Amino acid sequence: MDHQGRDIIEESGTDEVELVFRLTRTDVLRGIQVRERVRGLTPVRWIFVVVFAGFAAFTALAGASAVVLTGLSLLTALLIWGTPRIQANQVFRGISWQGEYRAAVSDAGITVETEHTVLTQRWSLFRGYRETGDHLVLLSRDPGVLGLAVAPKRVLRSEGDVERLRGILDRHLGRV
């Protein structure tokens, strides 16, 4: 389960799950939301939203003299609340042009191919994964969890494929 990145993993005819899909904004957003929860940032973000919204309500009581401050406080609360969506839109713009993704998940790692790239990721890149209702999200090992791999369950052909994919992930990664 714990690889150092220098080990060589040989294919031994083991199980492989293939996914063919186009990422959506929702897929990217779910990955970012999972990353935010794992890093413990969701409560912090909501505290700031409440503080700025409360400050806006407080300044609104001051009357017309504080209209600008009230508006800026509400805008700040809205931007803090919308940060994951803003990030998802930015990421989606950067990856959507690649079109269809073809991913193969096996004991050797994950190989993702588009019309423009082929990327093979060994299990040592990831710290673990988290499952949501519609996605399996793999989180990178770096302290800021900058890397994500999102596998939408909708593209798997059957519940058996979901189980096989979970089995491969459980063999190589822990749940976080």
Q: What is the pLDDT of residues 69-79, one digit of tens each?
A: 999 999 999 99
Fold of 16-22+99-175: PH-domain like (2.30.29)
Is residue 1 over pLDDT 70? no
- Rounded Cα distance, 120 and 50, in Å: 42
Domain ranges of the chain: 16-22+99-175, 40-93
Q: What is the mean pLDDT of residues 138-163?
A: 90
Would you place residue 158 in the very low, low, confident or very high pLDDT band (cuts 50, 70, 90)?
A: confident
Least confident of 5-14, 44-53, 147-156, 163-172: 5-14
Is residue 8 over pLDDT 70? no
**Mapping DSSP to helix (H, G, I), strand (E, B) and coil, where does residue 172 land?**
helix
Largest interatomic CA distance in the chain: 73
Nearest to 115, CA basis, from 131, 102, 132, 129: 102
Kindly report the number of other CB atoms within 10 A of residue 145's CB atom.
16
What mean pLDDT is reported for the chain? 89
Would you place residue 144 in the very low, low, confident or very high pLDDT band (cuts 50, 70, 90)?
A: confident
The answer to whether 49 touches 81, Cβ cutoff 8 Å, is yes
Paired residues of 152 in beta bridges: 135
Supply 73's token pair.
């406080």
Spatial CB neighbours of 171, under 8 Å, sequence gap ≥ 6: 1, 107
Provide the pairing of β-strand 126-131 with 118-121.
unpaired
Spatial CB neighbours of 79, under 8 Å, sequence gap ≥ 6: 86
Q: What is the mean pLDDT of residues 117-134?
A: 93
Is residue 35 over pLDDT 80? yes
Task: Please measure the distance between the N-terminal and C-terminal CA atoms of the chain and give it in whole angstroms.
Answer: 14
Is residue 96 over pLDDT 50? yes
Tell me what pLDDT residue 10 has.
Answer: 45
pTM: 0.82
Least confident of 23-27, 58-62, 79-83, 102-106: 58-62
The answer to whether 107 touches 172, Cβ cutoff 8 Å, is yes
